[in-house]
Amino acid sequence: MNLQSSAFKTGQPIPKKHTGKGQDLSPPLTWSDPPAAAKQFALIVDDPDAPTPQPWGHWVLYNIPPETTQLPEALPQKDTLDTPPGARQGKNSWDTNNIGYRGPMPPPGHGTHHYHFMLYALDTPLDAKPGLSKTQLLDLMKGHIIAQAELVGTCER
């Protein structure tokens, strides 16, 4: 399975409009070659370079229908999405506005941070409620991940 974005290439900087210093829009994503057995997809975006005990969570998205092969730019920050139909968003690491995508904004002078966009193909539908944390989603996915793809973007302030 391959994951990519028309906004940035793997290992390259994420454009300002997709960061907390810009418009904070989720980037467009596309994927190809999913396993035929995929019944659903999930996406987790985090920053393991954050100066926190756990990687900083930027996006938790799940219940993505199996026929989906792309996410448009600027998905709204709401629990349940119309596109892709029925997809649900979980909690990011912020205290406020913590549902949906929140873009990179590393501490000034902290160096280059790496943002891991991880797409998971699952062998079963989760039908999970909106608002799950990354940990809750990972627990639900245990034993059901049949493929995964990664795209890594960078950001520095």
- At 11-69, the pLDDT tens digits run 999 999 999 999 999 999 999 999 999 999 999 999 999 999 999 999 999 999 999 99
Q: How would you classify the pairing of strands 56-64 and 70-71?
A: unpaired
With CA atoms as reference, report the closest residue to 93 among 119, 126, 75, 115. Answer: 115
Does pTM surpass 0.75? Answer: yes
| Domain encompassing residue 125 | 2-142+150-155
Give the chain's domain count: 1
Of the pLDDT bands very low, low, confident and very high (cuts 50, 70, 90), residue 127 is confident
In the β-sheet with 56-64, what is the strand arrangement from edge to edge? 88-89, 56-64, 40-47, 113-122, 145-155
How far apart are alpha carbons 90 and 84 in whole angstroms?
15
Q: Residue 39 belongs to a domain with what CATH number?
A: 3.90.280.10
Evaluate whether 154 touches 7 at the Cβ level (below 8 Å). no
- List the beta bridge partners of residue 62: 88
- At 57-71, the pLDDT tens digits run 999 999 999 999 999
- List the beta bridge partners of residue 151: 117
For residue 150, the Cα-to-chain-centroid distance in whole angstroms is 10
Q: What six digits make up the tokens of 36?
A: 């035929």
The single-letter DSSP state of residue 142 is T
